Amino acid sequence: MHTDTEHCVRAVQSKDARFDGWFFTAVVTTGIYCRPSCPVVPPKPENMRFHPSAAACQQAGFRACKRCRPDTTPGSPEWNHRADLVARAMRLIADGVVDREGVTGLATRLGYSTRQIERQLHAELGAGPLALARAQRAQTARVLIETTELAMADTAFAAGFASIRTFNDTVREVFALTPGELRTRAGGGRRPKSTPGVLTLRLPFRAPLNPDNLFGHLAATAVPGVEEWRDGAYRRTLRLPYGPGIVALTPTPDHIACRLALTDQRDLTVAISRCRRMLDLDADPVAIDDQLRTDPLLGPLVDKAPGRRVPRTVDEAEFAVRAVLGQQVSTAAARTHAARLVTAHGDPVDDPEGALTHLFPSPKALAGLDPDTLALPRTRRTTLTTLVRQLADGELHLGVESDWHKVRAQLTALPGFGPWTVEAIAMRALGDPDAFLPTDLGVRRAAATLGLPSTPAALTTRSATWRPWRAYAVQYLWATDDHPINYMPPPTT
């Protein structure tokens, strides 16, 4: 979009927040870069330069605006609905892979050479993987500086910097302030004392956001011991690269309040990335809803409660296991089956603030389970054990970098994997926004009620007009049913 100068100028002049994260405006007369909705008087069009990423602005020598804080914008929705190399690379960079494994590790995961990745990222984003990771480290550092009382040295390493000197230089270059000045501007000494190891953050999103189906779904399907709804927040355990964590997510009108308890602060970036992905916070609801409104039968559902998101997951392998456990059973039965696995094979965690007890068991922990101990039909035992064995052996990999079409083919080849299970995993684990569940009972009931075709084949044909947002259409169809997944629990639950 940044190449459409006329469109970008109009967005900046109208201060249109819908385009925050889509592109960034660099102002040649001031040397700063802003989000499109920056509240200051817009610069003259001839002084504007448009870049596809904050990293590209920083590489061009611009610093972040202190007024609109472009580093805090939601991520580009481009990486949500694409499965090409650039989108997969961006999801991995957001997950902290470059910080942990370097560009070589990024290339290995994607199956391309480092040169190919560098070339494609530069062509589309104006910056390579190192610069993009550096911009993300700067954003993480700012969050830690402004919202915690961590010592600056601890902040530097938690944000992913290799040295304190690099941390200081980057912060000064990007924000035109020293780390100490950033903390002072944020009200350094006036913040209330925080619990050691606990961080409180604000996760931005593009409005509108309807929290009912999002938090309702997560709460209604919560696995005891791993997830819970407590005091108006969805809480769950996290399996992170450096250790376990616990997150509490609370919806508010203009952001998601995020409370993170981490064993190791270096997991902050990946924890934020996974929470944003689970809540689908980088989606562009205006574009999605505008497309779905073109269907006269679906349009009234969109107008009634716009901004529905797709509830996803923080752990793709976990969701695949839970999808198999949920085959042809009720929500309550699926939770019971999952809870038994958690108790028997999950790693214990300590949760002084709630009732969370375990991490969901990893594929390696489940690979050795005795199928005779599973209270499941024999065919479903085979389905589950085959899945966890392939996940544990690496024959099947589910992650943010996965090729959606390749994984669908791999899943379809497994015993017991029909269209519903494959598409459920594609929608909620892989994040494909066009995944569709025409055989789902709730979808078929909604279709019959609305006058849409009720047979899977006919409904799939009709759904062509909803593409590439059929996963969101599923959320609106599910919302016609009086099911707990459609209602956010009361705060006291």
User: Is the pLDDT reported for residue 271 higher than 60?
Assistant: yes
Give how far the C-alpha of residue 397 lies from the chain's centroid of Cα atoms, to the nearest Å. 18
Per-residue pLDDT band at 193 (split at 50, 70, 90): low
Amino acid 188: pLDDT: 53
How far is 451 from 443, CA to CA, in rounded Å? 12
Amino acid 189: pLDDT: 47
pTM of the predicted model as reported, rounded to 2 decimal places: 0.88
Average pLDDT over residues 321-341: 93
How far is 112 from 117, CA to CA, in rounded Å? 7
Per-residue pLDDT band at 191 (split at 50, 70, 90): low
How far is 402 from 423, CA to CA, in rounded Å? 14
User: Is the pLDDT reported for residue 342 higher than 90?
Assistant: yes
User: Is the pLDDT reported for residue 477 higher than 60?
Assistant: yes
* Mean pLDDT computed over every residue of the chain: 92
User: Is the pLDDT reported for residue 493 higher than 60?
Assistant: no
Superfamily covering domain 78-147+149-190: Homeodomain-like (1.10.10.60)
Per-residue pLDDT band at 471 (split at 50, 70, 90): very high
Cβ count near 190 (within 10 Å): 6
Residue 253 main-chain phi, psi, to 5 deg:
-60, -30
CA dihedral over 154, 157, 158, 161, signed as positive or negative: positive
Amino acid 149: pLDDT: 82
Q: Could you list the active site residues? A: 34, 440
Domains 5-64 and 194-493 share a fold: no
Superfamily covering domain 5-64: DNA Methylphosphotriester Repair Domain (3.40.10.10)
Tokens of 36: 């499109």
Amino acid 146: pLDDT: 84
CA dihedral over 389, 393, 369, 372, signed as positive or negative: positive
How far is 382 from 51, CA to CA, in rounded Å? 51
Higher pLDDT, 76 or 123: 123
How far is 55 from 117, CA to CA, in rounded Å? 16
How far is 11 from 198, CA to CA, in rounded Å? 38
User: Three-state SS for 122?
Assistant: helix
Q: What is the pLDDT of residues 110-145, one digit of tens each?
A: 999 999 999 999 998 899 999 999 998 998 898 889
Domain ranges of the chain: 5-64, 78-147+149-190, 194-493
Average pLDDT over residues 225-232: 96
Q: What is the pLDDT of residues 199-213, one digit of tens each?
A: 888 898 989 999 999
Tokens of 83: 């499965």
Contact 438, 463 (CB under 8 A): yes
Cβ count near 430 (within 10 Å): 24
The CATH architecture of the domain made up of 194-493 is Orthogonal Bundle (1.10)
Amino acid 198: pLDDT: 87
Contact 243, 264 (CB under 8 A): yes
